[in-house]
């Protein structure tokens, strides 16, 4: 969900309206496991001042000041956070947008097991397997967490720090020594 700017605020005499501010990530009401870094991304454009995104001020209702910038990588405390982005232009006009996110206790684990491939996708013998890449997330369309396994002999992996009470989706690829990645495997899911 993209949050768009609210109606422009009153501007000072002779100035333009408030900057347009949009929070791009994370989505409103998204949940993250404790200890996981959360990427905050927004953009701010002003008619007179242009791109002000690097001056966006980020705050959390629980953790306070989160810093400045179009994007911030932050680790937040447990609980329900109101994340706010604020921007001011040169005329003193400002815009503010907020989203809610949850940081939940991460105690769930999933053990993935697989049979190593013995041939390439074109049915030729596989002789240069380097390892695997595991993709997972809370939606089969958004498996944006990635784990690299640089061990061709591996046949299982324990994924931890998963949020209990949530359903996770997992898929993986094989990688050869030239870093060529196979197609994604069948997607599997597990309720934590």
> Average pLDDT in the 143-167 region?
93
Segment 83-142, tens digit of pLDDT: 999 999 999 999 999 999 999 988 889 999 999 998 888 888 888 999 999 999 989 998
* CB neighbour burial string for 11-23, b if at least 16 within 10 angstroms, e if fewer: beeebbbbbbbbb
- Pairing outcome for strands 94-104 and 30-33: parallel
What pLDDT does residue 13 have? 31
Domains observed in the chain: 20-104 (2.60.40.10), 106-191 (2.60.40.10)
Nearest to 104 by CA among 160, 165, 24: 165
Percent of the chain with pLDDT over 90: 74
Nearest to 15 by CA among 86, 87, 92: 92
Segment 56-69, tens digit of pLDDT: 999 999 999 999 99
Q: What is the mean pLDDT of the chain?
A: 89
What pLDDT does residue 36 have? 85
- C-alpha radius of gyration, the chain, whole number: 22
Are 171 and 185 contacting, i.e. CB atoms less than 8 angstroms apart?
yes
78: left (phi over 0), alpha (psi -120 to 50) or beta: beta
Confidence band of 5 (pLDDT split at 50, 70, 90): very low
Nearest to 53 by CA among 64, 41, 65: 41
Token pair belonging to 113: 């097991």
Give the residue, 157 or 121, on which the prediction is more confident. Answer: 157
Token pair belonging to 107: 């105690």
What pLDDT does residue 16 have? 57
Which residue in this structure is represented by tokens 């001056």?
55
The yes-or-no verdict on residue 3 having pLDDT over 50 is no
Quote the CA–CA distance of 43 and 90 in Å, as a whole number. 16
What pLDDT does residue 192 have? 85
What pLDDT does residue 1 have? 33
Quote the CA–CA distance of 168 and 155 in Å, as a whole number. 20
């Amino acid at each position: 969900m993209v949050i768009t700017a609210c109606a422009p605020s009153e501007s000072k005499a002779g100035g333009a309206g408030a900057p347009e501010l949009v929070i791009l990530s994370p989505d409103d009401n998204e949940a993250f496991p404790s200890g996981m870094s959360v990427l905050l991304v927004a953009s701010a454009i002003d008619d007179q001042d242009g791109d002000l995104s690097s001056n966006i001020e980020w705050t959390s209702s629980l953790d306070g000041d989160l810093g400045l910038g179009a994007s911030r990588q932050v680790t937040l405390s447990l609980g329900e956070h109101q994340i706010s982005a604020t921007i001011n232009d040169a005329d003193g006009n400002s815009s503010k947008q907020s989203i809610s996110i949850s940081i939940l206790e991460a105690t769930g684990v999933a053990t993935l097991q697989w049979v190593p491939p013995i041939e390439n996708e074109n049915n030729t013998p596989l002789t240069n397997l380097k390892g695997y890449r595991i993709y997972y997330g809370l939606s089969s369309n958004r498996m944006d967490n990635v784990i690299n396994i640089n061990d061709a002999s591996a046949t299982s992996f324990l994924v931890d720090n998963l949020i209990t009470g949530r359903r996770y989706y997992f898929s993986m690829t094989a990688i050869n020594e030239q870093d060529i990645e196979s197609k994604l495997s069948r997607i599997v899911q597990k309720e934590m």
